[in-house]
Amino acid sequence: MYERDDFTTILAGFRGGVEFDAPLDAVTSLRIGGPADALVTPADVDDVCHLVRRAAAARVPLMTLGGTNLLVKDGGVRGVVMRLSRLDAMTREEGACVCAEAGARMPALMGFAASQNLSGLEWAAGIPGTVGGAVVMNAGTRLGEMRDCLDAVRLATPDGGLVTRAAADLSFAYRHVDLPAGVVVGARLQLVPASRTHIETRAKDYLQYRKQTQPLSQPNAGSVFKNPPQAAAGRLIEDAGLKGCRVGDAQVSPRHANFLVNLGRARAADMLELIDKIQRDVFRRTGVRLELEWRVVGDDDAPRRRGTG
């Protein structure tokens, strides 16, 4: 476990917010997670570059929050966890392009695009994550995904610099994109002119569909498993009789079987036990091994501070 003194050099000159031994359950969509040794909120892109460079030089782990597909274990995360919530600027460029910083929320970006009469993000209606998280995981729904509108990505590199990579030069896959080393700090999106009424009607219709079919009102982290070839993970889980199945306060959503929800006091250990049961039961029934879409990070047990025990 890292102590405050371990971050003195890394955080020298850092202008953003810093919280030590910070519980992560308050900043994850599942409302689950042990403490981060240091939770930082950079003031701007320069602050991110500063932190990325110093953490790389000191070989201190640095993790960025942003996506909703995250389960933080009960022991928390060692090193530095970074939130980009202050990087939320959005601007329109020439033509039908929009630039957004990585901390901008996807609902805000979709609303901004609609205000500019630009279509292409309606597929994201109801997705609560950030632009950076959506880029990193190539977020998507049945209507589309990030690569459909992504034009370029801006990253803070380990040497403290900034680079821009065209989306055409990146390799995309289902809920994944191969990115250079570094931290996504922004994205440029190529959208399509359309009437605001058309955009808002389309987004409203899809959001209503999602509200009817997914547990949007309960703490969740989006789809748990990737859809296997020629099948839907949710259907396989439902056919295995697992809808509503619980381990502690972790539950397979009765509304959509490929969502796990936190009924109030679920721990990461509960979620992991439930995930293991789902994978075992579905494999036993169908021979299909469900692959996690969630990212699982952190330690199983609470860290022991130096000089204790």
Domain definitions of the chain by residue range: 4-82, 90-212, 223-293
| Rounded mean pLDDT, 17-25 | 96
For the domain with range 4-82, which CATH number is right: 3.40.50.410, 3.90.950.10, 3.40.50.1000, 3.30.43.10? 3.30.43.10
Question: What's the pLDDT tens digit per position in 124-147?
Answer: 888 888 999 999 999 888 888 999
Question: pLDDT at position 143, please?
Answer: 84
Whether the per-residue pLDDT at 56 is higher than 80: the answer is: yes
Question: pLDDT at position 305, please?
Answer: 56
Question: pLDDT at position 257, please?
Answer: 98
Question: Domain spanning 90-212 has what CATH number?
Answer: 3.30.465.10
Question: pLDDT at position 142, please?
Answer: 80
Residue 246 to residue 70: CA distance in whole angstroms = 19
Identify whether 295 is a catalytic site residue.
no
Q: Which of 46, 38, 43 is nearest to 9 (CA)?
A: 38
Whether the per-residue pLDDT at 308 is higher than 60: the answer is: no
Report CA-CA distances (Å) from 243 to 71, 161, 217, 235. Answer: 20, 48, 17, 10
| Rounded mean pLDDT, 53-57 | 95
Note the pTM of the prediction, 2 decimals: 0.90
The sign one gets for the Cα dihedral 298, 299, 301, 302 is negative
Question: pLDDT at position 304, please?
Answer: 59
Question: pLDDT at position 240, please?
Answer: 98
Question: What's the pLDDT tens digit per position in 185-214?
Answer: 999 999 999 999 999 999 999 889 888 999
- Enter the tokens of residue 153: 């990505």
Contact call for residues 164 and 152 (beta carbons, < 8 A): yes
Confidence of residue 175 (pLDDT cuts 50, 70, 90): confident
Q: Which amino acid belongs to residue 279?
A: Q
Residue 308 to residue 304: CA distance in whole angstroms = 7
Confidence of residue 270 (pLDDT cuts 50, 70, 90): very high
Identify whether 175 is a catalytic site residue.
yes
Residue 180 to residue 183: CA distance in whole angstroms = 9
Give bridge partners of residue 164 from the DSSP assignment. Answer: 154
Where helices occur in the chain by DSSP H, the ranges are: 8-11, 45-58, 106-115, 131-136, 196-213, 233-239, 268-286
Question: What's the pLDDT tens digit per position in 84-106?
Answer: 999 999 999 989 999 999 999 99
In terms of DSSP bridges, do strands 62-64 and 176-178 run parallel, antiparallel, or are they unpaired?
unpaired
Question: pLDDT at position 284, please?
Answer: 97
Q: Which of 102, 91, 103, 146 is nearest to 123 (CA)?
A: 146
| Rounded mean pLDDT, 156-177 | 94
Which of 101, 105, 145, 223 is the catalytic position? 223
Whether the per-residue pLDDT at 51 is higher than 90: the answer is: yes
- Quickly tell me which residue has 């040497």 as its tokens: 159
Question: pLDDT at position 302, please?
Answer: 63
Which of 78, 105, 175, 188 is the catalytic position? 175
Strand ordering across the sheet containing 35-41: 17-23, 35-41, 77-82, 62-64
Question: pLDDT at position 303, please?
Answer: 58
Topology annotation, domain 223-293: 3.90.78
Question: pLDDT at position 309, please?
Answer: 46
Question: How high is the mean pLDDT of the chain?
Answer: 93
Question: pLDDT at position 255, please?
Answer: 95
